[in-house]
Amino acid sequence: MPRFAANLSMMYAEHAFPDRFAAAARDGFQAVEFMFPYDWQKDALATRLQDAGLLNVLMNAPPGDWLAGERGLAALPGRQDAFRSSIDAALSYADAFACPRIHVMAGVAPEGVDRALCLDTYKENLSWAADQARTAGRTLLIEPINTRDMPGYLLNRQADAHAIVSDIDSPHLRVQMDLYHCQIMEGDLTTKLRALLPTGRVGHLQIAGVPDRHEPDQGEVNYAHLFDVIDTVSAQCGWDGWIGAEYRPRYGAETGGTTRGLGWVQPWLKRGS
Ligand SMILES: O=C(O)C(=O)[C@@H](O)CO
Ligand SMILES: [Mg+2]
């Protein structure tokens, strides 16, 4: 049965970040994910996680200088030292949260730098990082991201991510398949889920309505259908990952907040309880 995690970087934005853990638990979530916890003390956040009785199923490695436009370091030639430090930091936070998965962002191609060189750097860095993850007992994820939201991002298509994971061939490197990005870049979601979940290379799923990245019951994708597909395929192939709800809620604090838009997940949270 699909298991859903609330993405605390996007959901519950009506609360301060540390208060989002309790808010998600009150709404019935048993797991959360978030992008960048590095502005907070890891022990303080670990306490929030434990007090709320939640699992942390995914977090991101530091992405470089976000405000300056960086979107990950893994594929950036000349930034290997910064990349290695980012993995060290991520593994240390993941340890505090007992978080099994870490999303490692590729980066935006620097002006004038050859894509082939970026790809070589990416594979070399991921190979090294997957080895660190093995020692730490974690799994790293790479995620194809759509080029409208992130122009120049170096990984955009599911097939490219699967080729890299196959190439590096480590059980500690998997694909984060975000159906929002996949719909924008490629579509054909049902067929892709049926083909890709059984490969064992998909470590995590994420969802959001398309095109506005609101609740999954908004927009052009029929997620009720896709949840049934995931349910059926998982039962057949044994896929047992989580689905991160990575969307920006339509309702602000004054109109009901994140909780008001959770109708899409209620049937599934009830079935799991
Ligand atoms: O944007 C997404 O989609 C993500 O999953 C983030 O981790 C990266 O921005
Ligand atoms: Mg995502």
The residues spanned by each domain of the chain are 4-272
From the number of C-beta atoms within 10 Å of its C-beta (0-12, 13-18, 19+), residue 251 rates as middle
Has 124 been annotated as catalytic?
no
CA separation for the pair 18, 16 (Å, rounded):
6
Mean pLDDT of the chain: 97
On the question of pLDDT at 272 being above 80, the answer is no
pLDDT of residue 268: 87
Q: pLDDT confidence of 90, banded at 50, 70, 90?
A: very high
Instruction: Quickly list H helices, 137-260.
Output: 158-168, 179-185, 189-196, 223-237, 257-260
> pLDDT at position 273, please?
53
Q: Decide: 246 in ligand 1 pocket, CB within 6 A.
A: yes
CB of residue 86 inside a 6 A radius of ligand 1: no
Over range 208-223, report the average pLDDT.
98
Question: Is the preceding peptide bond at 249 cis, omega within 30 degrees of 0?
Answer: no
Give the pTM.
0.97
Q: What is the pLDDT of residue 251?
A: 96
**What is the Å distance from ligand 2's center to 177 Cα?**
7
Instruction: Answer yes or no: is the C-beta of 30 below 6 A from any ligand 1 atom.
Output: no
Predicted pLDDT of residue 270:
75
For residue 143, which atom of ligand 1 is closest to its CA?
Answer: 5
Determine the CATH number of domain 4-272.
Answer: 3.20.20.150
Band the pLDDT of 269: cuts 50, 70, 90. confident
* The predicted structure's pLDDT at residue 69: 96
